[in-house]
């Protein structure tokens, strides 16, 4: 499968592993080939990096309790949806 090109949707689905450094070399190479040709995915990757950098500066005290509850609900729904697709 390493010779098959990635779609943008597939890129979105695997960027977490890429950013975490948990992607096998062949898969990383496929992703980086896609990124070399797709400005939209490069922009999305940079948005993720910015989000990670900025949210890493947040403290628990800086987030309102209502926002924490809402974020938790969104995360749980996302995780459930992701599991149901597997």
What are 46-77's pLDDT values in tens digits? 999 999 888 887 777 888 889 889 988 998 99
Residues 50, 81: one domain? no
Residues 42, 64: one domain? no
pLDDT tens digits, 26-53:
999 999 999 999 999 999 999 999 998 8
Residues 39, 74: one domain? no
Alpha-carbon dihedral angle through residues 44, 4, 81, 16, given to the nearest 10 degrees: -40
CB 18 within 8 A of CB 28: yes
Q: Which domain holds residue 46?
A: 1-55
pTM: 0.64
What is the number of structural domains in the chain?
Answer: 2
Structure-token match 């995915």, residue found: 41
Residues 65, 84: one domain? yes
């Amino acid at each position: 499968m390493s010779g098959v090109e990635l779609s943008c949707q597939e890129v979105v689905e695997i960027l977490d592993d890429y950013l975490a450094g948990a992607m096998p070399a062949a898969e990383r190479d496929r992703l980086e080939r896609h990124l070399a040709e797709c400005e939209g995915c490069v922009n999305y990757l940079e948005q993720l990096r910015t989000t990670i950098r900025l949210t890493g500066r947040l403290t628990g005290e800086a987030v309102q309790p209502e926002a924490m509850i809402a974020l938790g609900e969104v995360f749980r729904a996302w995780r459930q949806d992701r599991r149901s697709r597997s």
